[in-house]
Amino acid sequence: MTTNSSPQLWLYDTTLRDGTQREGLSVSIEDKLRIAKRLDQLGVPFIEGGWPGANPKDVQFFWQLQEDPLKLAEIVAFCSTRRPNSTAATEPMLQDILAAGTRWVTIFGKSWDLHVTTSLKTTLEENLAMIRDTIEYLRSQGRRIIYDAEHWFDGYKHNPDYALQTLEAAIASGAEWLVLCDTNGGTLPHEISQIVQDVVKVTGDWGLGTRKESSQSLIPNTQYPIPQIGIHTHNDSEMAVANAIAAVMAGAKMVQGTINGYGERCGNANLCSLIPNLQLKLGYSCITEDQLTQLTEASRFVSEVVNLAPDEHAPFVGLSAFAHKGGIHVSAVERNPLTYEHIQPEQVGNHRRIVISEQSGLSNVLAKARSFGIDLEKLKAEAKQILQRLKDLESEGFQFEAAEASFALLMHEALGGRQKFFEVKGFQVHCDLIEGKESSNALATVKIAVDGKNILEAAEGNGPVAALDAALRKALVNFYPQIATFDLTDYKVRILNGHTGTAAKTRVLVESGNGRQRWTTVGVSTNILEASYQAVVEGLEYGLLLHSQAEVAVKASS
């Protein structure tokens, strides 16, 4: 828990620039605006929006934010230093930066002499001039500067004196932040800690007007105060979060990262792990406690917008982050959550889940039943029956840890309370496969009974499962209008025993939703259509059960 005396850390999100460099990730202008506004709500003070001028999308993004600015966060434009042997005042890309209209600009420059001579193909002195000229020009235009020292740690290890000269150039020109970047992601925490400590000490000495004799000091003549230190880490060694924490503990005051750790190659430091570690465990103030409870929702929101499946096993915000499957674990956590949970899930907006599987004990079944509002404590015989049925079905290939709605229906059936909203008496599916086309048209016919009345309906769809789902909805919607609000949101297929060839069993998981809730059901068969039918039917049935329970609750409250 943070207090008024907690040391302040400044978060800097680069999801919209560095994060979008992840392979397979692409966002529209509208996507970027939605994410920026969600990060603003989360309380992130600096949001890097992109590189104005690098592409039309980023130009329009900054223009739109000028018309409809964020409420709290500073939107930041990103750019490199000017080109070699030119001037900042005549550099076209810097005019695009100014046109973006942001108060803050992040400029990155080379810290590693290898990059200066190999990538930029210029001299070490010209690189220093590029840093000075770029920052001085932007300062003269009223901009505040965050300086990203690219490849800082590799550069410092290879040639510390020159690396420090690049920081001197940035300080003398008016940078307010010096962000040390582990651009290749290959540095280890003990190296990060030592080097950040070195930089904090050296820049502190510069503030007193002292400098080693190895190079000429630029600092005593500057009109600007010594900047604070930030950290920017990549995850190529699976160390990005650990390295960022090491830097903070060594004196860094700004932490750069991305939501869900998105980024080029192996990604960037994951803010969804950094924020709770820094705030809940180390006592730093990053965002408010109320904003911290939005972290899980923000993580999933961003993954939805960028159209990437959420990492269910991500620390803190993943669906499985506080999931308990082993019977001993469940029994212990029911008595005291501290036994198997390092924080309270609610602190980051997550929740505890009791997972049901063939490895479950009776305590799992009792706990899971309570989560569905069913008290089995006094019905131990029924609970044991449910547990045995669960294990029998999982031995056939069913998987209930990922299909909790199917398990809820199983419990209701074992207790004799499974409501029969409808009965499917049969179905047929016909597909037209057209050579050269990626998809096929399908026609599904279903026969169902509702309250003893038989209904025969047919519907077309882009594939057999879509057609089957459409036919079922068409047959039922006149009896249950709420079905019109149900959506089939995800469909997963897994072959369970591929060595048996076409006789292999198939497991189908179907996720459905009604705009407020989502639920998953499962089907298993040697026939993929049969397995799909089982899962789709149970998905509709569980949705109707939720609606029925909601109606009962409303009547009871009135």
Q: Looking at 59-63, 230-234, 239-243, 367-371, which range is the least confident one?
A: 367-371
pTM, rounded to two decimals:
0.72
- 3-state secondary structure (DSSP) of residue 2: coil
pLDDT of residue 503: 65
SS (H, E, C) 242-303: HHHHHHHHCCCCEEEEEHHHCCCCCCECEHHHHHHHHHHHCCCECCCHHHHCCHHHHHHHHH
Alpha-carbon distances, residue 41 vs 62, 255, 258, 291 (angstroms): 18, 18, 15, 8
Percent of the chain with pLDDT over 70: 91
12: which strand partners? Answer: 46, 256
What span, in angstroms and rounded, lies between the C-alpha atoms of 206 and 196? 15
pLDDT of residue 218: 42
What span, in angstroms and rounded, lies between the C-alpha atoms of 166 and 318? 40
pLDDT of residue 557: 72
pLDDT of residue 558: 67
pLDDT higher than 60, residue 213: no
CA dihedral 273, 309, 340, 289 (to 10 degrees): 40
Cβ 27 vs Cβ 55: under 8 Å:
no
- pLDDT tens digits for 143-186? 999 999 999 999 999 999 999 999 999 999 999 999 999 999 99
pLDDT band at 555 (very low <50, low <70, confident <90, very high): confident
What span, in angstroms and rounded, lies between the C-alpha atoms of 105 and 418? 61
Cβ 418 vs Cβ 372: under 8 Å:
no
Q: Find, among 293, 296, 327, 263, the residue nearest to 48 by Cα.
A: 263
- 3-state secondary structure (DSSP) of residue 70: coil
Tokens of 270: 């994951």
